[in-house]
Amino acid sequence: MGRRGKIGIACLCFTFWLAYLFPSSCFAQSTLTFRIRSEADRSILAGATVYLKPSGLGGVADSTGTATIPGVPNSEQEATISYLGFEPARLRIKLPRPSGAKPLEIELEPSGESLEEVIISTTRAGRSVRDIPTRLEVLDAEELDEKASMRPGDIQMLLNESTGINSQQTSAVSATANIRIQGLDGRYTQMLKDGLPLYQGFASGLAILQIPPLDLKQVEVIKGSASTLYGGGAIAGLVNLVSRTPGEGKPVLDALLNGTTARGADVAVFSSARRGKLGYTILGTYNHASAFDPSGQGFSAIPETRRVLLNPKVFFYPTTRTTVWAGINGTVESRYGGDMNRIRGGSPDGYFERNDTWRGSTQLVAQHRISDSLVLTAKNSVNVFDRRLQTPGQDFAGRQTSTFSELSFVAGPKRLEWVAGINLWTDQFAQRNPAPPLSGSGLGNTILTYGAFVQNTFRPNERLAFETGLRLDYVNSSFPVRSQGAVLPRASALYRLTDNLTARATAGFGYRSPSLYSEDAEGAGFAGLQPLGTTASLSLERSYGGGADVGYSTSFADGEGSLSINQLAFYTWLERPSQLLANATEPGLLYYANPEGYLRSRGLETNLNIRFEQLRFVAGYTYTDAIRQQNGVLLRQPLAAPHRGNAVLLYEKAGKFRIGLEVLLVSSQTRQNDMAGKAYYELGFLAEKRFGPLSVFVNCENLTDTRQTRFEQIYMGQKLAPSFRQIYAPLDGRIVNGGVKYRL
């Protein structure tokens, strides 16, 4: 053996000797595991990056927020954890760690940057909101947390202060309301929770008042026709409420206690946890309101209300590719509004409206990833909504039972992706009690809707994307309306002109089935309502429309600030919309018909968002030109304000405090069979201070005490038998609320 060979053998033996004597310092390696969340709301930060020095190794967090880095040398490492929109975290780690050590829990503090990637679920593909051809707006966890301090009991304010959306009150004394998008009636907006329809039909006037925001992760809004994936009813747009899901690591416990100067109180608790293959979330709320009349006109602007809600969910993860969850929602509410003397136990003859409701619903969703390019999903929901509405001389009660079942898949690589599926939607209404002569009677009906859909997203390059879809629906009704089919094509395109400048365009068809439920029927208390199709023939309401927008976003001041602006133009045409008409031969009776004519809504929408360090300014403006042509007569669409603006100025130190000011401006708007409403504005103020897991907040809504009752008397005629004007401005006036939030 030569001299070099002997030297090599000696070095090899010396190396093995060192490894034997000092195994922890020579060639030994460890595996590091990190679990990464947001410090603000403990949400999972999928896509967060970890970089180790001096080894130069790194990893990326998966969908559970877990980043695993194998083969790390057993020496001291400095880890840097980063995620867009959050302050980087740095820590020193001595290796090897003790045997059985748990993964490192990392919580990142949000920064002033607003360009983080938001993954959306409404379009089924699970893409970033910046990369989909369909224009979609997202209200994220930060905004939801802010609005929860303003109105913890429901999501009415959350949606009312979004550009192009407003909450329309339908009862002057019961405060029932629905959501209008771009000037169209509330019945043309479809509301979903986790992609399941739970709040339609008979429940629509109370839906947004019975949904607390505490368990929501984000709210996704599509404006304009969204019928390809979700069927009839999504003519004006779609609102999808996305719930929080359990994550591995520490259990989550959020609690909120709130009180108002209108003698209202809210208590809400949300908890979630995951251990291995099992997880859960549970939401419980109690809401109380006393009857409140700031105007002195003798009628409740806020009704006496009691509501209890319980919503538990169980999650099962049998494999890394399969997720199954099931939930139950139970809500009981009593709502009593009208003459204040009657509510307080005085005069028994005053006008009143009493709504007693209960809701029971189940949800079941199973998703299995067959391969990296094929995901199969099955969904089912059953919803029972029981409501009794009493007014002087009328007692109307009914039960709506609706079910939704769907089987769908997502397939294909990211450049050419397909979504397809079939579903069945049933809607049955049963009137529960005999009715006086002028109350609606014989209104029971059943509607079955069979649907099939397909959608394709094609990305030829990084700057261009196309989305095309087609839906086929067949509607079978029990009332005297012939069964009808609907063919709904839709197309969207995205073109990224530069890294900062993006353009989108969308066009599509929509439809809505004939239905008993509308704002007009709600406002009339369903009194005198005749069965569908007995007085006039009815057909599907059909629409077409589209929109185009240009968006620009950038950062400045070395990443300490950001700017985004979006300009949208929209157009919707609705052919022969159904109307609730008075029966000319039988006074007091009402019926639905499709009179000759159309409804057209068009306009512009501008959104501006500026952040600089801890300061954020958000502003929006909507111009709406909505007209209705009926039997040759051209009219302005009632309660569609031509001009509407909103702005929020917020100073926030993440995890420490926030102070905000907001303003809402609404122009004069026409009303049905009445004089036009006045223009008005509102101011609001919010302050919140955090002490570790505890937050204390105070919020003042409507500092200017703007009320419709300052402009006019809310009712016409006699107080014992009033005829209420359409509501276009607030009735409750200035209200201050405050409380505490606890987050573990």
> Band of the pLDDT at 14, cuts 50, 70, 90?
very low
Within 13 Å and on the Cβ side, how many CA atoms surround 287? 23
What is the average pLDDT score of the chain? Answer: 86
Selection from 301, 183, 177 nearest residue 235 by Cα: 183
Give, in degrees to the nearest 5, the angle at Cα 94 between 93 and 97: 100
* 11 pLDDT more than 60: no
* 219 pLDDT more than 80: yes
pLDDT at 314 (0 to 100): 97
Query: Which residues neighbour 402 within 8 Å (Cβ) at sequence distance 6 or greater?
Result: 197, 200, 201, 382, 383, 385, 425, 426, 427, 428
- Residue pLDDT, tens place only, 271-328: 999 998 999 999 999 999 999 999 999 999 999 999 999 999 999 999 989 999 999 9
- Residue pLDDT, tens place only, 75-128: 889 998 888 667 788 888 988 888 878 889 998 877 644 444 556 666 666 566
Q: How far apart are CA 673 and CA 658, in angstroms?
A: 45
Distance between first and last Cα of the chain: 70
pLDDT at 583 (0 to 100): 83
Q: How far apart are CA 160 and CA 50, in angstroms?
A: 40
Residue 201 has what DSSP assignment? G
DSSP 466-518: EEEEEEEEEEEESSSS--EEEEEEEEEEEEESSSSEEEEEEEEEEEE---S--
Q: Please report the domains of the chain, with CATH numbers, ordered by start residue.
A: 24-108 (2.60.40.4130), 137-743 (2.40.170.20)
Show the beta-strand stretches assigned E in 74-176. Answer: 77-82, 89-93, 104-108, 137-139, 165-169
pLDDT at 526 (0 to 100): 80
DSSP 281-315: EEEEEEEEE--B-SSSSSB-SB-EEEEEEEEEEEE
pLDDT at 492 (0 to 100): 94
Q: Read off the pLDDT of each residue in 533-560 and give the average, rounded to a whole number.
A: 86
Query: Which residues neighbour 318 within 8 Å (Cβ) at sequence distance 6 or greater?
Result: 277, 324
Percent of the chain exceeding pLDDT 70 equals: 91
- Residue pLDDT, tens place only, 588-619: 788 888 888 999 999 999 999 998 888 999 99
Query: Which residues neighbour 20 within 8 Å (Cβ) at sequence distance 6 or greater?
Result: none
pTM of whole model > 0.85? no
User: Which helix H or strand E contains 617, and what residues bound it?
Assistant: strand 615-630
